[in-house]
Amino acid sequence: MNEHADVALLTQAVQIASPSTHEAAVAQFLAQAMQARGIPSTIDRVGNVVGQIGSHGPEIVLLGHIDTAPGHVPVHVQDGKLYGRGSVDAKGPFVTFVCAAARLAQHDTLPFRLTLIGAVEEEYATSRGAHFAAQRYHPQACIIGEPSGWERVTLGYKGRVLLTIATRQASAHSAGPEPSAPERCMAVWQRIQHYCADFNRTRPRLFDQIMPSLRQISSHSDGICDTAHATVGLRLPADLAPDALMHQLSTVADAQTTLLFRDPCATWQSPRNDPCATALISSIRQHGGQPGYLLKTGTADMNVVAPRWRCPIVAYGPGDSSLDHTPDEHIDLGEFARAVAVLSQALPVLATRLT
């Protein structure tokens, strides 16, 4: 396959809307595209698209996600950049996997097994596709498809806990002395902020801090009962387990307020001498890049599969992650082509280091 065909594949994939829980159409498209490129493919029972080449040797999993954040970004190419929802996060990285695998599929014999998984519901915070894959596969190495930029390799992601603050109290006149339900809800949020600020006081690096974010707030009254709800996200450092944070925050609620925690996952960080990282770094250099390492303050499917697989694992893919979820989301097509070339060369090298 040439670069023009690769760009066409990426463009077509981005044109198919696939917000979380609505990935079926793009999964079918990618399955057919992989078949046409010599990569036998299926769709598993949770909706992941899966392609596999090679019949012996160590197994390497390339795991990306094919769902996107909500919102429509008109798909078009301008000044060598492809605009569209998912172009960066994360169809760009997953199509990079497909294009690199298609080059390797042209070899008569492949001394390793390569499994591509386009997972569902990463953006929905359930990581349903990754959880299913974590139980089904047992690879010797894994590369996660997330934007790092073609010259960078991501070694780790912060952990996460999601929290709903739910306040419920009897209705009262607004001129009365009691705080309103929204005020009580916000007071709990402020106590969470203060807790995090105290924890972070001697931690200058963001990757080592708790990062709280207020994502949603709403209130309602039927004249008898007043309620308020706030959704909070908490990004965790490596030395703070989700269970420990949930226990410590359980004291910030008052009698009218309930804290509902969900979707906890721990931080994961691989070392710089991880075989996946060193193979990619070497290939980046050989393609004229100046490689470097990243630690991301977000959370990805790496946090789901890494604790179970306990194998070499990093994240790699073209694109600027600061454009994730934005109305200006776009990927540089030259960078996309370089990432395909880097990965195509790095995978056979990685396989030799696993045997």
**Helix and strand numbers, DSSP H then E, in the chain:** 9, 16
255-273 exposure pattern, b = at least 16 Cβ within 10 A, e = fewer: ebbebebeebbbbbbbeee
What CATH number labels 3-157+267-354?
Answer: 3.40.630.10
> CA–CA separation, 279 vs 322, rounded Å?
25
> CA–CA separation, 339 vs 317, rounded Å?
7
Total-model pTM: 0.95
Please identify which of the residues 23, 122, 123, 301 carries the catalytic annotation: 122
Instruction: Tell me where in the chain the CATH 3.40.630.10 domain(s) lie.
Output: 3-157+267-354
If we measure between CA atoms, which residue out of 170, 159, 119 comes closest to residue 261? 159
> CA–CA separation, 262 vs 80, rounded Å?
41
Please identify which of the residues 6, 23, 59, 67 carries the catalytic annotation: 67
Query: Which tokens go with 194?
Result: 């203060």
User: How does pLDDT run along the chain (355 residues), one tens digit per residue?
Assistant: 588 999 999 999 999 999 999 999 999 999 999 999 999 999 999 999 999 999 899 999 999 999 999 999 999 999 999 999 999 999 999 999 999 999 999 887 899 999 999 999 999 879 999 999 999 999 999 999 999 999 999 999 999 999 999 999 999 877 778 899 999 999 999 999 999 999 999 999 999 999 999 999 999 999 999 999 999 999 999 999 999 999 999 999 988 899 999 999 999 999 999 999 999 999 999 999 999 999 999 999 999 999 999 999 999 999 999 999 999 999 999 999 999 999 999 999 999 999 7
> CA–CA separation, 217 vs 165, rounded Å?
9
Which CATH topology does 159-265 take? Alpha-Beta Plaits (3.30.70)
> CA–CA separation, 212 vs 195, rounded Å?
10
Query: Which tokens go with 254?
Result: 């008052």
Cβ atoms of 182 and 219 closer than 8 Å: yes
67 given a catalytic annotation: yes
> CA–CA separation, 191 vs 200, rounded Å?
14
Instruction: Tell me where in the chain the CATH 3.30.70.360 domain(s) lie.
Output: 159-265
